[in-house]
Structure 1
Amino acid sequence: MSFSRVSLFTTASLALFLSSPASAQDVPDEDEQEAADAGSIIVTATRVRQGGAQDIKHFRSVSLDGDFLPPTSSLTLEGLLGEHDLTLPSTGDCTQLFCISSHAMEASLPGREQDAYFVGLGFDSAIDADAYRAEPVSLIAVVDRSGSMSGSPLERVKEGLNSALKQLRPGDRMGIVIYGSETVVHLPVTDVDGNEAAIRQAIATIESNGSTAMEAGLELGYKTAVEELKQSRGKTRLMLFTDENPNVGNTSAEGFMGQATRGSRMGIGLTTIGVGVHFDGALASRVSSVRGGNLFFLDDEDDAAKLFDTEFYNMVSEVAHDVAITIDPAEGYKVTGVFGVPDGLMSEADDGLVTVTIGSAFLSSNGGGIYFSLGKDAEREFLPARELGQTSPAQIAVSYTDALSGQSHTDSDGVGGVAKAPERLRAAHLLVDQYLTLSSALGDYHQKGERKSVFHRLDALSQRIAAADVEGFENEAELVDSLKGRAAYLAGYAGELPREMRHFGVVGTWRVLRHRGVDDIGRGDRVEITKDNEFITYREGRYGDGDEIFQYFEVNEKRLHIEDTDLVLRYTFNGDRMRLSDGREGSEILLERIESEDS
């Protein structure tokens, strides 16, 4: 196939075809031709998306299983977009390393009346993806083993390490650095072939201990990776497993971002794998947005296997670096919003040009891109907006560095005129709507205590998702409907908690009215049940001794289990009273609410 420059854009879409990858072949050899004749695809349009956050699994986990209405610290638009394949159609096959296809539609984002048009710039590539993924990998895992990682988080980490090891092949290498109060090389970088059992044993012996010296952990990780550059047969990459809650050394995002950027310049990328309910998604999103970085989250058991089975060789395969996209809006218009990259990666010039910088682009199962909105320029405040019709809404200039050759390339062209929007652009528009609505509504709940307006905004969003003619929004409908149900309860529009939140009725501070068959509790004692699964008994009753009994509990829709005991109690409510009972053993506690964490 030929890689000469061709013009393949119409008024409806644009494709910027940049340089070909060094590994691509103009003419297939005999083996490749035989494979092609047999029906195998040698080179196809390959999905590509930007680095940074790739999902909002942490936000979903705390939304569906955590708080009544969760904070938005781990909700990112980049992650939300990353969970969907948003590949935009082009007028022809993408035949180059890095392609951009653009489409425009009329904007209708609630609360953003200034937006007239919504434009999508989708990413694509046509490298030989199998050959690109086949390049050997030296993987240095940097594992947070601090106290906050004990239990389930560390189990997720071990599942992730074993899943990564399962993907590695002859020629690949693996090492492990662990950090807590001390930072050590737990497993020197070694060939995977013939050493799988030893590597699995090293994974199994990682234990939780100490504080969270993430700066020191990354420092030793990068030092190990630099030494490995001499031995590596291909790509070298750090994979950081953490709940992203550093408390020792330099804990600033800027410090970690500097480490990651310097590492990338030396040829060492950074994939962050987040774990744990206390995961600091805001910090992780910033760190992963730099050159060579991407971010994923592991929530439930088997998440690691699902992620690494589909994305391991994508997440370590960088296609382009330092991608700069400059948007020059048509006369009479200005850029009113950019969606899909963190704020720190955008700049605006005095002449209205907006430049978006993307640290890296990776192979991915989901096609990515960025999106921007256009509105009437201030100079036309008292004039009608110019009708664009088939006129280009904006001119786009692109520059980037080939991740394989290190060569720089540039190109420019115009966005096609406004036409019927393809489904994936309408999906992106709806995801931006979802993100903006959730951010504003949940922010107003936590910062201003608003309840009724929050419900109405979530209800309207739920209706827009239900009415949209786009596929693949089942998870979004579930998320928004769940939050809407809770908002209805908090606003007084629903008399009962939604079923999936019924267990939150146990949260609060209670007074013991009576009990039987239960030790270490008495009438008049105070019991505090927290959202962090703490069950604290304060001995304040007639026979109390002033002690505090601290325990943990687990709860589902019907029963509460106090850990380290045999007590599994069914809970029922009657007004401000809660009854905990075990009919078989005759154990019972009757409690009266004296304070609620959500009152």
Structure 2
Amino acid sequence: MADNNTPQILIQPLRPALIAGAGQKLPVLIRVQAPDAVASEKKPRQPYHLALVIDRSGSMSGPPLAEAVRCARHIADQLEPTDIAALVVFDEHVQTLVHARPVGDRTALHQALSRIHSGGTTNLHGGWQAGADGLLPNAGEAALARVILLSDGNANVGEVTATAAIAALCGQAAECGVTTSTYGLGRDFNEELMVRMASQGGGNHYYGDTAGDLFEPFAEEFDFISALCGRHLRLSLAAAPGIVIRLVNDYPVEGDAGLPVIRLPDIAYGAEAWALVELAIPAGLAVDGAGQLLQAAVTASTPEGRPLAFADALLTLPAMPVAAWNVLLDDPLVLSRQAELLAGKMLEQARAAADHGDWSTVERLLAEARQRFADQPWLVEVLERMAELARTMDTARFSKEALYSSRKMGSRISAKEEASFDNLGAEALSPSFLRRKTAQGKAQFDKPDGSPE
């Protein structure tokens, strides 16, 4: 029975039994749930420490830079006076306009934002590094310390320009308490770089197809930060001897196939992080009374640094003859998560084909995916949008949308009650970070001026 008031781990197998005496592979969904938010008087919290890092290179001139400034101003206006904020801009040069300091009445931030103008080339690493360096000394005092980076280009000047090297530095900063979220804009930014910076940096990755599409992900980011419940989630899995665990999501993993430790995304109140694993079970364990197949444990901390306690979850299943097993129903949520991950893999294949100019293969893969996942409304809408984009044969735009959509399918946090939604429209009332968008690069729930639809 689900308990909405305490953190918990739920284990859901595809079917609630094993085939007796047969070796088999069993998909298992593991759901790590935060409690619901309690509607009560707002409690004091530790400060957020944020560094807003904005690309002001020449290609940002005009509406893109104006929109970036508006988004940064929106975040500044949501912060408490005791929160810490810094503002960094970069082209080939890096300039810290506001050093990390309490927000106060926001005058310094507003004045600095009003003075930003476009410049030259893109020292992306230098801008990110300046933002991170300003937060690192006091990261331990923050509920969350995060660099929020926006760029429309590539790391083409500066001491470090290679994707792997920059992403590795983001990972090192995350280990020291400063995470990174990235925002790509338009068709020319390096999506591999921006996604890897956020993935290794422990933050989120977003993009906007146009300047007008930027506001929604910025608002989503701050809504998520404001609802943050658990950080540094580590899911430890222990299987019975002889069982091999394979993680289907593309999460970082430590340990071996019998005792993996999986790094899950941070979770917000009312939400869950999830992982799909496949258990390879030998015939000798597919018997009644075989005992515990899988144990799941989670460690996490609150934004204030206190431990967030989860009770361990166990999976034991009966074994039954194949005829009886065949009439059991598949769990619909496990099927849905399986479909998301498979659709994400197919989008990765389509992206690779598009990068080689093989649009006939792209068309075939998307048609196969739409047919295969016809019973999954969100996936169908995403795939139809991708098919529309493929018809333009715009490799840059297709590549970005395919990458961000596939990553979202494999690593998103979801609403705990998502399976009970009758349709996607019901999600419009959910917090912004739990809504399933049909196109990651397009504003869907907000108008260009930021007001609700």
Verify the 8 A CA contact 1:132 1:317 in the aligned structure 2.
no
**Per-residue deviation, residues 195-224 of structure 1 (Å, max 9, x unmatched):** 34x533422332222332233223322232
Verify the 8 A CA contact 1:122 1:369 in the aligned structure 2.
yes
Residues in 1 aligned to 2:207 and 2:93: alpha-carbon distance in whole angstroms: 25
Deviation at 1:392, TM superposition (A): 5.6
Task: Tell me what 2:83 maps to.
Answer: 172
More helix by share: 2
Task: Tell me what 1:159 maps to.
Answer: 70
Task: Tell me what 1:283 maps to.
Answer: 193
Verify the 8 A CA contact 2:26 2:278 in the aligned structure 1.
yes
Verify the 8 A CA contact 1:180 1:210 in the aligned structure 2.
yes
Residues in 1 aligned to 2:396 and 2:237: alpha-carbon distance in whole angstroms: 46
Query: How has the CA–CA distance of structure 1 residues 340 and 367 changed in structure 2, closer, same or farther, with 3 Å as cutoff?
Result: farther
Task: Tell me what 2:382 maps to.
Answer: 476
Deviation at 1:290, TM superposition (A): 3.4
- 1:105-124 matched pairs, under 5 angstroms: 105=14, 116-124=25-33
| Mean Cα deviation higher: 405-414 or 181-190 | 405-414
Task: Tell me what 2:105 maps to.
Answer: 194
| Mean Cα deviation higher: 148-157 or 427-436 | 148-157
**Partner residue of 1:355 out of 260, 263, 277:** 260
Calculate percent identity across the aligned residue pairs: 19
Residues in 1 aligned to 2:286 and 2:169: alpha-carbon distance in whole angstroms: 47
Query: How has the CA–CA distance of structure 1 residues 318 and 223 changed in structure 2, closer, same or farther, with 3 Å as cutoff?
Result: same
Verify the 8 A CA contact 2:230 2:268 in the aligned structure 1.
no
Query: How has the CA–CA distance of structure 1 residues 269 and 454 changed in structure 2, closer, same or farther, with 3 Å as cutoff?
Result: closer
Structure whose CA Rg is larger: 1
Given the alignment of the two structures, is residue 346 of structure 1 paired with residue 259 of structure 2, yes or no?
no
- 1:519-534 matched pairs, under 5 angstroms: none
Verify the 8 A CA contact 1:293 1:359 in the aligned structure 2.
no
Task: Tell me what 1:146 maps to.
Answer: 57
Verify the 8 A CA contact 2:91 2:121 in the aligned structure 1.
yes
Deviation at 1:318, TM superposition (A): 5.3
Task: Tell me what 1:591 maps to.
Answer: none
Query: How has the CA–CA distance of structure 1 residues 388 and 279 changed in structure 2, closer, same or farther, with 3 Å as cutoff?
Result: farther
Query: How has the CA–CA distance of structure 1 residues 201 and 433 changed in structure 2, closer, same or farther, with 3 Å as cutoff?
Result: same
User: Helix, strand or coil: the match of 2:49?
Assistant: strand
Verify the 8 A CA contact 1:159 1:304 in the aligned structure 2.
no
Gaps of at least 5 residues in structure 2 are: 17-22, 319-327, 398-453
Given the alignment of the two structures, is residue 294 of structure 1 paired with residue 204 of structure 2, yes or no?
yes
Verify the 8 A CA contact 1:318 1:361 in the aligned structure 2.
yes
**Partner residue of 2:181 out of 265, 271, 280:** 271
Deviation at 1:371, TM superposition (A): 1.3
- 1:31-70 matched pairs, under 5 angstroms: none
Query: How has the CA–CA distance of structure 1 residues 169 and 249 changed in structure 2, closer, same or farther, with 3 Å as cutoff?
Result: same
Residues in 2 aligned to 1:387 and 1:439: alpha-carbon distance in whole angstroms: 39
Given the alignment of the two structures, is residue 395 of structure 1 paired with residue 295 of structure 2, yes or no?
yes
Letter paired with 2:370: S
Residues in 1 aligned to 2:217 and 2:99: alpha-carbon distance in whole angstroms: 25
Residues in 1 aligned to 2:241 and 2:357: alpha-carbon distance in whole angstroms: 40
Given the alignment of the two structures, is residue 458 of structure 1 paired with residue 366 of structure 2, yes or no?
yes
**Partner residue of 1:100 out of 5, 9, 32:** 9
User: Helix, strand or coil: the match of 2:373?
Assistant: helix
User: Helix, strand or coil: the match of 2:248?
Assistant: strand
**Per-residue deviation, residues 54-111 of structure 1 (Å, max 9, x unmatched):** xxxxxxxxxxxxxxxxxxxxxxxxxxxxxxxxxxxxx231444x4322211169xxxx
Verify the 8 A CA contact 2:26 2:281 in the aligned structure 1.
no
User: Helix, strand or coil: the match of 2:116?
Assistant: coil
Query: How has the CA–CA distance of structure 1 residues 336 and 124 changed in structure 2, closer, same or farther, with 3 Å as cutoff?
Result: closer
Residues in 1 aligned to 2:166 and 2:297: alpha-carbon distance in whole angstroms: 30
Aligned residues: 379
Deviation at 1:176, TM superposition (A): 0.7
**Per-residue deviation, residues 173-211 of structure 1 (Å, max 9, x unmatched):** 432111222111113445545334x53342233222233
User: Helix, strand or coil: the match of 1:126?
Assistant: coil
Query: How has the CA–CA distance of structure 1 residues 413 and 227 changed in structure 2, closer, same or farther, with 3 Å as cutoff?
Result: closer
Query: How has the CA–CA distance of structure 1 residues 414 and 454 changed in structure 2, closer, same or farther, with 3 Å as cutoff?
Result: same
Verify the 8 A CA contact 1:322 1:400 in the aligned structure 2.
yes
Task: Tell me what 1:414 maps to.
Answer: 314
Letter paired with 1:482: E
Gaps of at least 5 residues in structure 1 are: 1-90, 108-113, 487-497, 508-529, 533-599
More strand by share: 1
Residues in 2 aligned to 1:310 and 1:270: alpha-carbon distance in whole angstroms: 15
User: Helix, strand or coil: the match of 1:282?
Assistant: helix
Residues in 2 aligned to 1:328 and 1:365: alpha-carbon distance in whole angstroms: 27
Verify the 8 A CA contact 2:50 2:86 in the aligned structure 1.
yes
**Per-residue deviation, residues 307-344 of structure 1 (Å, max 9, x unmatched):** 34444142366544443323344566433442142xxx
Task: Tell me what 1:7 maps to.
Answer: none
Letter paired with 1:462: R
User: Helix, strand or coil: the match of 2:345?
Assistant: helix
User: Helix, strand or coil: the match of 1:398?
Assistant: strand
Letter paired with 2:384: E
Given the alignment of the two structures, is residue 214 of structure 1 paired with residue 214 of structure 2, yes or no?
no
Residues in 2 aligned to 1:285 and 1:389: alpha-carbon distance in whole angstroms: 45
Given the alignment of the two structures, is residue 404 of structure 1 paired with residue 318 of structure 2, yes or no?
no
Residues in 1 aligned to 2:62 and 2:292: alpha-carbon distance in whole angstroms: 55
Normalised to the residue count of structure 1, the TM-score between the two structures is 0.53
Verify the 8 A CA contact 2:167 2:200 in the aligned structure 1.
yes
Residues in 2 aligned to 1:294 and 1:400: alpha-carbon distance in whole angstroms: 18
Residues in 2 aligned to 1:250 and 1:129: alpha-carbon distance in whole angstroms: 45
User: Helix, strand or coil: the match of 1:440?
Assistant: helix
User: Helix, strand or coil: the match of 1:371?
Assistant: strand
Query: How has the CA–CA distance of structure 1 residues 290 and 94 changed in structure 2, closer, same or farther, with 3 Å as cutoff?
Result: farther
User: Helix, strand or coil: the match of 1:116?
Assistant: strand
Normalised to the residue count of structure 2, the TM-score between the two structures is 0.68
User: Helix, strand or coil: the match of 2:276?
Assistant: strand
- 1:175-574 matched pairs, under 5 angstroms: 175-189=86-100, 191-196=102-107, 199-226=109-136, 235-243=144-152, 245-247=154-156, 248-290=158-200, 292-315=202-225, 319-330=229-240, 333-341=243-251, 345-347=252-254, 349=256, 352-358=257-263, 361-363=266-268, 367-375=272-280, 386=286, 393-405=293-305, 407=307, 412-415=312-315, 417=317, 420-444=329-353, 446=355, 449=358, 451=360, 454-466=362-374, 468=375, 470-473=376-379, 475-482=381-388, 486=390, 501=392
Verify the 8 A CA contact 2:163 2:193 in the aligned structure 1.
yes
User: Helix, strand or coil: the match of 1:278?
Assistant: coil
